[in-house]
Amino acid sequence: MQHPLFWPTAALALLLLIDLIMIPGFFRLEIKDGHLYGSVIDIINRAAPLMLVALGMTLVIATRGIDISVGAVVAISGAVAAGLIGGDMVMINGAPEYVSKMPMVFALLIAMGAALLCGVWNGLLVSTLGLQPIIATLILMVAGRGLAQLLTDGQIITVYYKPFFFLGSGYLFGLPFSLFIVLAVGGLLLLLMRKTALGLFIQAVGINPVASRLAGIKT
């Protein structure tokens, strides 16, 4: 019971127990179109973006901070990715096919670069100007969604490019591909926190920056 994951796991188990009792067939799984189908699978697929955001937020909370601009950052990076990939239809071998405006890898890297710039902006406001994290990120929360709307001209961008569509709605080994992305990012985060100096610094800032400074860690 002293393990830090005990109570979160117990709360999740209680929630699943309530689902089992209150919702008939909640855990029922079927195989359709070559992959698993059911309420649990659907929840995992739709919750994957939230899980990715939560992984990043974990690092912020670990430094005694809070970031309320994560939704705006997702909107900005998503608008950049969708705008760069697009989905122009061309005729290939006599059949219509959607192609990307630019290689998808470059589009995703640019989108992540845009998100990184947002993080740098928040970080400078907090660490350099000394603003409270909730105030610093409030600025981007308000302005970021407006910026995303400017990038898309206020329109919904629909992407028909199949490889991009696969990232969010595809399946691998019968499970949503987005789940594997979450597991990969979670693994990298665990490696960062347990095996690198940056992970040590993050924990030192969050646990006790004064004691860490006296121990020789420049928080």
* Domain parsing of the chain, residue ranges: 65-160
Q: Structure pTM?
A: 0.80
- Whether the predicted pLDDT of 186 surpasses 80: yes
pLDDT tens, position by position, 48-60? 999 999 999 988 8
φ and ψ at 98, to 5 degrees?
-90, 135
Cβ-contact 178, 45 below 8 angstroms:
yes
- Whether the predicted pLDDT of 69 surpasses 70: yes
Here the tokens at position 192 are 């960062």
Can you give the pLDDT at residue 94?
A: 64
DSSP conformation letters of 150-183: HHHTT-PPP---HHHHHHHH-EETTEEHHHHHHH
- What is the separation of C-alpha 44 from the centre of its chain, rounded to a whole number of angstroms? 13
- What is the separation of C-alpha 177 from the centre of its chain, rounded to a whole number of angstroms? 14
